[in-house]
Chains A and B, each alone.
Chain A
Amino acid sequence: MSLLKYESTLREPLVDGEKTYHQVTEDICRPVEEKANTGWKIGFTISVALLLFGVYSVYREVTYGIGQWNLNKTIGWGWDITNFVWWVGIGHAGTLISAILLLFRQGWRTGVNRAAEAMTIFAVMCAGQFPIFHMGRVWDAFFVLPYANSRGPLWVNFASPLLWDVFAISTYFTVSLLFWYSGLIPDFATIRDRAKTKARKLWYGVVSFGWTGSTKHWQRHESLSLVLAGLSTPLVLSVHTIVSFDFATSVVPGWHTTIFPPYFVAGAIFSGFAMVQTLMLVTRKVMKLDDYITLGHIEAMNKVIVLTGSIVGIAYLTELFMAWYGGSKFEFDAFYKYRIAGPYGWSYWTMMTCNVISPQLFWSKKLRRNVAFTFIMSIVVNIGMWFERFVIIVTSVYRDYIPSSWSVYYRPTIWEVGFYLGTFGLFFTCYFLFSKFAPVIAIAEIKHVLKTSGESFKEKMDVIEKESVEHFAHEHAHAH
């Protein structure tokens, strides 16, 4: 098995610098063990402030009703559902990285998977707020659960994609949480073993569930990861598929189109990776983790962004084409008169520019490896993806079939915006807490790839690289 530690030198190292196992532990545990720095404190304070503003905005809505928002007679879904879909989409990168890239044996996932999974969980938590508070009578929210009830024939509508959403998203949240947490267990145990204070030892002892690192534990841990990866792979597709059904099962022009499910999934992964980039670029800088989240990682994620952005682009153009080709006047109007042109045309073009045109710059290797450019692009993409949902929702419903029911121009109220900002507060509050109290990179998984993909170990592979193929294969056969 010795030669199995071979990896082509064409692949760049996943861990930079001369690292030993011990150093990996040191580097990643440091931020958890040290006192929080000023940057963290400022960031955390801002997040909590935003969260409180969100709580107040929601309080207004709950107390005075949906009228606190500017939804009107045709625009029954506005910022709320736009934000909901946007946040759900962002979560997808985490699941893709942890599940699909694990099945694909992509070594580079190890640098980013922990934070991406955390992001998924926080994003889904944010997403869930919107449909719940959009109900208006939030105290009746439990009505969405199908259980034998005392309300007589009042039962959930199993034929409604909105109900499927309840199932899909709660499953998604549960599995993602399990995945993330089970990965954290060995790393929590590492921190416990290094703990200098009693309180820390006790706390990390409790959360690491008595992990000892025995072979048996590792064995079970590995099979659990694989099982969870298998379970979450369909979830990567199913969650956003069902979100797309919310629109596509209807007969609203602009919503009812068969390409929606895969196109929504591609868009979700697209926005999710952009958010991972935003978080990772800040994290690696603030926590000095650029040896673990290397330019190679950033480039790989940018490749995913240009791929999924282009898939989304094909879907946009397909929709435009079919709106003409299909020969339905209403479909045509929805796309060519109410979206591209019309009072909300600016949002359509923002979406096109941010999602399809600007990511094409990532065909350039130089730009893919440019940190500042990547950071800007990651935000541009998420602006674009927010507008995608806004375009789909608002521009499809602001003009009904007859002009008498066209709605007035839709602008959100401060409380609608506040709710959205509040979810940012929630998201970042959670993320800051996570980055302070848990290792943001999977220590155990980095160690797993260190000896094949660590920079100092890769240098030794130059010798193997020069061997003839026959010799190499021969050696390998003997090593088995």
Chain B
Amino acid sequence: MIKEQFEMTGRYKQWAYALMGVGVLALVLGFVFLKPTGDANSFGVTKFWAVLMHNSIFFLLITIASMFFISATTMAMGGWQTAMRRVPEAISGFVYIGGAIALVVLLGYVFGSQNTAIYHWKDAEHVAHDKVLNGKKGFLNPTFYSIATILVIGTWIALRHWYRKVSLAEDAGEQGDRSYFWKTIVICAAFIVVYGLTVGSTTPWLWLMSIDAHWFSTMYSWYTFASSWVAGLSLIMLFIVYLKNQGYLEYVNEEHIHDVGKFMFAFSIFWTYLWFSQYMLIWYSNQPEETVYFQPRLKGPYSGIFYLNLIINFVAPILILMKRSAKRNYATVTFMSVVLIFGHWLDFYQMIMPGSLKGDENGGNSIGLFLFDMGVAAGFIGLVMLVAGNKLTKASLLPKNHPFVKESIVHHT
């Protein structure tokens, strides 16, 4: 009999709780040392909120990427991933708590904090004097921001919820009943459209690009998508390898691992392509209103991260994941997953911090307090582990009535 029912081991839970503990500890220490209740635009307050935003947005986007994975493969009638699709299903379950956290953090910052260093456009008085921001106030204002944020996260949750319901109902249904499959097609089509209109366009403008409020780039959202998508694929890979090592997912073998590895490889190149296109075009035309974005990233304390970003997210995957055997090796793919998740976390870091801290004496001169960033990230990792692990226990690991499950079993890459 194969093991279809996942149970979290004591060690898994311990790790999850320990990491969450680190996160809570980091928050407490952050509270003590950064004094987020202090002077509104002080370094501490800005840093505190920026770190929370960085992590809550990053982890929400890389987990909702799992829902995109499901939707894209469903719409493309991809049979190969059926035997492992409960993994992205479980990861996407993070959208409830992750969405709630992001909502609290984002709206908490917009309404609850006096700080205006991260979102300059919050400051009505400043906007009145700033010609550029004044022109944008139809888009960049607290009301629109909060309505859009609630709608976006709400829609993600609703669609993911609906999808999961149908997917579980299929398990309980009869073998050969394809009505569930056609239902998921509808849900996934809806999600793809929503994803295109949120992650593919508006959401990164609102949440992230508005940090450098004067600056703009049409590529920005697709770039953000690529970054979160690579990290999201890596996260899926990590869970698959873990489950395999625990003796689950019997029908998933190196063929499937290889295919997820191909995605990681291909989209790492895709990310680089978008990175290059955005950077090169701004560099080439050399207009101050555009180069202003790369100026603080290229020069000064962030320059190391600027180059590291490329090394981790481009050089590493192209060299390490190129070979067929590397994509079929558990150790290599695990290593690369960790590297890429960290790499894109760092990418988000450099998207958020330089803009938030640029006016600040402390933040402008050093990347500072990296430990706090890492601590909060650890908390999120623990939470993702716990939530996704918990969702995995809720259903059989094999969607045995899915019409493509047999194709997945005999899959040859």
Contact = CB atoms under 8 A, between A and B. Distances in A.
Interface of A: 3-4, 6-8, 10-11, 103, 105, 237, 241, 245, 248-251, 256-262, 303, 310-311, 314-315, 317-319, 321-322, 324-328, 363, 464-466, 468-470, 472-473, 476
Contacts of A258: 217-220, 277-278, 281-282
Interface string B112-149: 00000000000000000001100110010000000000
B166 interface: no
B285 interface: yes
B251 to A, nearest CB: 6
Contact of B277 (A103, A241, A256): A241
A259 B176 CA distance: 44
Given A8-B406, A259-B219, A261-B273, 9 more contacts: A6-B410, A105-B413, A245-B281, A256-B281, A311-B196, A318-B201, A321-B201, A469-B398, A473-B251
A314 B196 contact: yes
Contact of B175 (A241, A321, A468): A468
12 contacts: A237-B273, A249-B285, A250-B285, A258-B220, A259-B217, A259-B222, A318-B218, A326-B216, A327-B136, A464-B406, A469-B400, A472-B406
Contacts of B400: 469
B189 interface: yes
Contacts of B222: 259, 262
Nearest to B277: A261
Question: Most chain-A Cβ atoms within 10 A of its Cβ — which of B2, B217, B400?
Answer: B217
Given A249-B284, A258-B219, A325-B139, A476 B410 contact: yes
Question: Most chain-A Cβ atoms within 10 A of its Cβ — which of B79, B201, B285, B406?
Answer: B406
B9 interface: no
What is the predominant secondary structure among interface residues of chain B facing chain A? helix
Given A258-B217, A310-B196, A327-B132, A317 B201 contact: yes
A322 B218 contact: yes
Contacts of B96: none
Contacts of B245: none
A328 to B, nearest CB: 7
Interface string B378-413: 000000000000000000001010011111011011
A11 B2 CA distance: 28
B409 to A, nearest CB: 5
B361 interface: no
Interface string B146-181: 000000000000000000000000000001101001
Instruction: State the 6 A-B residue pairs at the shortest beta-carbon distance, nearest first.
Output: A259-B218, A258-B219, A261-B277, A249-B284, A326-B216, A327-B132
B98 interface: no
Contacts of A322: 216-218
Contacts of A317: 201
A249 B77 CA distance: 38
A374 to B, nearest CB: 19
B162 to A, nearest CB: 18
B228 interface: no
